[in-house]
Every structure is written in structure tokens, then in C-alpha cells.
Chains A and B, each alone.
Chain A
Amino acid sequence: GENVEQHPSTLSVQEGDSAVIKCTYSDSASNYFPWYKQELGKRPQLIIDIRSNVGEKKDQRIAVTLNKTAKHFSLHITETQPEDSAVYFCAASLSPDSSYKLIFGSGTRLLVRP
């Protein structure tokens, strides 16, 4: 069945360092890959997304890369700040144009140490 694996489950970095979270998906038909940030007690919020016709996308300190052949995608956060501390979820879906069925990874708890 559809599955998204996410690693690592926890990640601790020093403020200013980079953080990388990796995901692997199983359904080769997936072509939409969002990343969500969830702070404690709050709703998930989209931080960046990428579609399969693009290999990389960047938004300030955040970037996502996609390797469709290997069915891998990764989140890169540079110059981390304490406010980046949260749980990050990757997800995979068919195109939202046809149906929204996000399959989520298990989450990565990121701690940025001041």
C-alpha cells in the first residue's frame, strides 16, 4: 500500500547549523510533496511544497529536493533558529487537481539549541 518513510525521528542541531530531513515514498504515481511544520498544540502549517515536474524549490532558508527516480525527497533548513524547533512532517499525494489524499511520514522532532 501507500507508505511514506521519514528519517530521522528526532534531530538536534546547534543554532546556525543546517538540518536535513529525508523521506521516501512508495506510490510512483505521487506527484505532489508538501512539508508541514507543527508546533506543540498547534495545527500543521505548510512551509514548502514541490511538484514532480520540479527537482528543487527554495524559499529563503528552506529548500526541498525531489528525486523521482529514487522516490526520495528531502527538506533542508539552513541557518537554523530556535523558532524552527517543531515537528516536521513530509507527505506525498497524487496531484491535488484530481484528489487530495496526503500520506504523511511519521514526523521529525527538530530541536534547535541556542
Chain B
Amino acid sequence: KAGVTQTPRYLIKTRGQQVTLSCSPISGHRSVSWYQQTPGQGLQFLFEYFSETQRNKGNFPGRFSGRQFSNSRSEMNVSTLELGDSALYLCASSTGQNEQFFGPGTRLTVL
């Protein structure tokens, strides 16, 4: 089976812009979670989707949003970008009952 894929892999934006990141889970996986990884804050949970429904949400401002499509692919959106949003954004997929498999991440740089 193909692994979790994320696009784009690298992204450079300026403050105030918005960005959309995409995640394609492993075939058959219905759960997709998103995490933000920074040197200062480590790995932080953003949200989890299961069968198109958000099941859980982390402590991030409303500028961070996501959605999941019927084919389990997921997108996350960040509006009004701030310098502090520069990070590696990781998605992970699961059947919903077992381990999560991480994608390679999208490296977002906000200038």
C-alpha cells in the first residue's frame, strides 16, 4: 500500500496570506489527524477527522481549520498567516482503531 502523502512538501507565504495543505491517507484509512511541529513547541495536535466529521480539536485559534472529503483525503487551511505559523505540518492516518502513520509533512515558511 502507498503511504500517507502530503502536498505540497514546501511552501513559502507572506504574513496575512492564507494557505491550504493537502493530505492523502493510506487506502482504507478513515481517520486523519493533523499536527504542527516546531522546535519551540514540539508536536502539537491540531484536529482529527473520521469519516468526514471532526472528532477532536486542539487548542489552536480559529484561523486553523480543516475538512475531510468522502474519499478520506483531508485539507487544512490557515488564514491570515502569522510568522509564528512557520512549522512542519504533519498529517497522520489510521483505521481509527490502531496506530497512526505519519506523512512526510509540509514545511511552511511565513515571511
Residues of chain A having any CB pair with chain B under 8 Å? 1, 34, 36, 42-46, 49, 89, 91, 96-107
Contact A102 B33 (CB under 8 A): yes
Contact B43 A100 (CB under 8 A): no
What residue in chain B is nearest A45 (Cβ atoms)? B102
Q: A89-B43, A100-B48, A104-B44 are in contact. Are A46 and B100 (CB under 8 A)?
A: yes
Q: Which residues of A contact B94 (CB under 8 A)?
A: 96, 100
Q: Which residues of A contact B44 (CB under 8 A)?
A: 104
What residue in chain A is nearest B58 (Cβ atoms)? A101
Contact A99 B42 (CB under 8 A): no
| Consensus secondary structure, chain A interface | loop
Contact B100 A100 (CB under 8 A): yes
Contact B96 A96 (CB under 8 A): yes
Q: Which residues of B contact A103 (CB under 8 A)?
A: 45
B56 within 8 A of A: yes
Q: Which of B35, B59, B97, B99 has most chain A Cβ within 10 Å?
A: B99
Q: Which of B43, B48, B92, B97 has most chain A Cβ within 10 Å?
A: B43
User: Chain B 43-81, CB within 8 Å of chain A: the 1/0 string?
Assistant: 111001010000110110000000000000000000000
Contact B102 A43 (CB under 8 A): yes
- Pick 14 A–B contacts, CB within 8 A, sort by A: A43-B103, A44-B43, A46-B100, A46-B101, A49-B99, A89-B43, A96-B96, A96-B97, A99-B50, A99-B55, A100-B48, A100-B55, A101-B56, A102-B43
Q: Which of B31, B45, B96 has most chain A Cβ within 10 Å?
A: B45
Rounded to whole Å, the gap between the CB of A100 and the closest CB of chain B is 5
Q: Which residues of A contact B35 (CB under 8 A)?
A: 102, 104
Rounded to whole Å, the gap between the CB of A65 and the closest CB of chain B is 19
Q: Which residues of A contact B102 (CB under 8 A)?
A: 36, 43-45
